[in-house]
Amino acid sequence: MFSAPKMRGSMTEKMQRMHHQVLIVGGGAAGITVAASLKRRARQDVDIAIIEPADEHYYQPAFTLVGAGAYAPTRTRRQEEHLVPAGVRWIRATAKTFDPANNSVGLADGETLTYDCLVVCTGVKLDWDKIEGLTATLGRNGVCSNYSPTYMTYTWDCLQALKPGSRAVFTQPPLPFKCPGAPQKIAYLTADHLRRRGILKDCDLDFFVHAPVIFGVPYFARELVKIAERYGIKVHYQHNLVAVDGPGKTATFMLVSEERQGQRITVPFDMLHVSPPQSAPEEIKTSPLANAAGWVEVNQNTMQHLRYANVFSLGDVCSTPNSKTAAAVRKQAPVVVHNILCMMAGQAIEPGYDGYASCPLTTAFGKTILAEFIYGGKVTPSLPLDPSKERRIGWWIKVTGLPLMYWYYMLKGYEWFPRHNTAFTGDMAEK
C-alpha cells in the first residue's frame, strides 16, 4: 500500500507534491509529536506533510497558570515553523473535506491531497456561541476564560480586581472537554490568591458543574471535594451555563438533574470564569471518519480507524474515552507511530494505548495533586508517592518540568517516558 518516498518517472512535480506517504491533519501537540517521532524512528526516509493553518502553536496546559498570574503568556507560544520537524512539509491550509474511500483530503482553497496513511489530530472546537451573550462580553465585564489564549490574561485582571464582598463564579461544561481539571484549577488558585490577600472569607466563590461529580475519577474527586470545602467554594452540581449578561453581570444556568431538569437560575457575579462547551470541528463531524457524536472513530487501544485501516487519529478529536489532555497525546503518539511503521512493513498493527491521561491539579500556589489514570478511572501514578496528596514537587512538575518536556522532548519525537504504575492498588483502599 505504501508508495516510495520520492516519486519518479512520468509523474509531474505538482503531482508529487499532492501525494504524501503520511499526511497529518493538525499541527498541534499531536501532529508535531507524531511527525517528529516518525522521522526519528523510520529506518528509511518517509514523506510526511502536516496540514495546519495556524502560524502560532500554544502550550495550552500553561493557560491555567497564565490566568492565575503565575506564568508569562509569551512562554506558552512558539512559531509553528520552528516546530515542524526538518524534512516534513508544512502545508499552511485548512482541511475541509475527507474522502477516505479515495485516500484524499480537500483543502479550503480547493486543492486535493492524497495519502498512503492519514493521521487526523485537529483538536476540539470551542463552542463559545452555544452560550447566549458570551461572545459579546468575553474579555470584558468580568467575563474571562483560560480556554482562550486571547483572553487568558484577562482572568488575572479579574482575579486582582476582586475585593471584599465580591462574588467569583466558575463553570464546567458538559463532557467531553479538554483537560478535566482546568475549570476547577482556576477556582482553587483564585481562592488561594484571595486567602493570601486575607480576603477569602469576605468573598463568595461558586463552582457550577454540569456533571453530578466534581471529577470523573472517584479517588481524586474525594480529595477535591475536601479542598473546595477548605476554601469555602460552594459546588453546585448538574448546572449548565446557558446565558451570560455581561453589562448586567449575571449568569444563567439550566438545571440538568432528573428532578429539576429544565429549571433555570440566574446568579450575579463580579468575575465569571467560563469553560466553554466543546465538540469536534465541523469538517470532522460531517466527514465519513466521524462516529455518531462527531469524533474520529478509532479503536481505543490501537488508535486505528474502525472502518478505514490506513487512517489513525489521536489527541482531542479522536473517539477514545480517555480524558482529553496533552498527557494522553504523549502516550498515544508512540502507538500511532509504531502502527504506521508496522503497516509500512506489512506487519500487523498492535494495541498499546491504555487510556493514560494526567491532570496536574493546581490546588494552591506551590501545590499540585498529580492525577494520573487510565481507562476505567484506574489510578496509575508515575511517582512512588501517595498520588492523592497535594505536593510541591507536583507544582514544580507542572510549572517547569512538563513545559520543558513538551517543547524539547515530546515535540522533538523522543518517546521514553517514566512508566505509570498500573499495579497501584491505593485507589482500592477505603478512605
Ligand X SMILES: Cc1cc2nc3c(=O)[nH]c(=O)nc-3n(C[C@H](O)[C@H](O)[C@H](O)COP(=O)(O)OP(=O)(O)OC[C@H]3O[C@@H](n4cnc5c(N)ncnc54)[C@H](O)[C@@H]3O)c2cc1C
Distance in Å, CB of 255 to ligand X, minimum: 26
Q: Report how far Cα 241 is from the mean position of its chain's Cα atoms.
A: 20
Single out the residue of 30, 235, 271, 298 in contact with ligand X (rule: CB under 6 A): 30
367-374: strand order across its sheet: 357-364, 367-374, 378-379
Per the annotation, the verdict on 318 as an active-site residue is no
**99 CB-contact burial (10 Å; exposed 0-12 / middle 13-18 / buried 19+):** middle
Stretch 165-194 residues interacting with ligand X (CB under 6 A): 178-179, 182
Distance in Å, CB of 148 to ligand X, minimum: 8
283 binds ligand X (CB under 6 A): yes
Catalytic one of 121, 144, 203, 359: 359
Per the annotation, the verdict on 359 as an active-site residue is yes
* Cα-only R_g, the chain: 22
Single out the residue of 52, 116, 245, 390 in contact with ligand X (rule: CB under 6 A): 52
Which segment (11-19, 40-48, 60-68, 414-422) binds ligand X by CB under 6 A?
Answer: 60-68
Catalytic one of 179, 203, 318, 342: 179
CA-to-CA distance for 327 and 353, rounded, in angstroms?
A: 12
Q: Which residue, 37 or 122, is less far from ligand X as judged by CB?
A: 122
Single out the residue of 7, 41, 42, 53 in contact with ligand X (rule: CB under 6 A): 53
Stretch 115-154 residues interacting with ligand X (CB under 6 A): 121-123, 146-147
104 binds ligand X (CB under 6 A): no
Distance in Å, CB of 96 to ligand X, minimum: 7
Single out the residue of 319, 325, 332, 388 in contact with ligand X (rule: CB under 6 A): 325
Stretch 215-274 residues interacting with ligand X (CB under 6 A): none
Distance in Å, CB of 348 to ligand X, minimum: 26
Instruction: Give the per-residue SS3 of the chain.
Output: CCCCCCCCCCCCHHHHHHEEEEEEECCCHHHHHHHHHHHHHCCCCCCEEEECCCCEEECHHHHHHHHCCCCCHHHHEEEHHHCCCCCCEEECCCEEEEEHHHCEEEECCCCEEEEEEEEECCCCEECHHHCECHHHHCCCCCEECCCCCCCHHHHHHHHHHCCCCCEEEEEECCCCCECCCHHHHHHHHHHHHHHHCCCHHHCEEEEEECCCCCCCCHHHHHHHHHHHHHHCEEEECCEEEEEEECCCCEEEEEECCCCCCCCEEEEECCEEECCCCEECCHHHHCCCCECCCCCECECCCCCEECCCCCEEECHHHECCCCCECHHHHHHHHHHHHHHHHHHHCCCCCCCCCCCCEEEEEEEECCEEEEEEEEHHHEECCCCCCCCCCCEHHHHHHHHHHHHHHHHHHHCCCCCCCCCCCCCCCHHHCCC
94 binds ligand X (CB under 6 A): yes
Q: Which residue, 245 or 276, is less far from ligand X as judged by CB?
A: 276
Single out the residue of 49, 95, 200, 289 in contact with ligand X (rule: CB under 6 A): 95
371 binds ligand X (CB under 6 A): no
Q: Which residue, 197 or 407, is less far from ligand X as judged by CB?
A: 407
324 binds ligand X (CB under 6 A): yes
47 binds ligand X (CB under 6 A): no
Which segment (8-16, 53-61, 68-76, 206-214) binds ligand X by CB under 6 A?
Answer: 53-61
Q: Which residue, 246 or 281, is less far from ligand X as judged by CB?
A: 281
390 binds ligand X (CB under 6 A): no
72 binds ligand X (CB under 6 A): no
Closest residue to ligand X in the complex (CB):
28
Q: By rule CB under 6 A, what count of residues binds ligand X?
A: 38
For the annotated catalytic residues, the residue numbers are 179, 359
Residues at the site binding ligand X, with contacts judged by CB under 6 A: 25-31, 51-54, 60-61, 63-64, 94-95, 121-123, 146-147, 178-179, 182, 281, 283, 315-317, 324-327, 329, 358-360
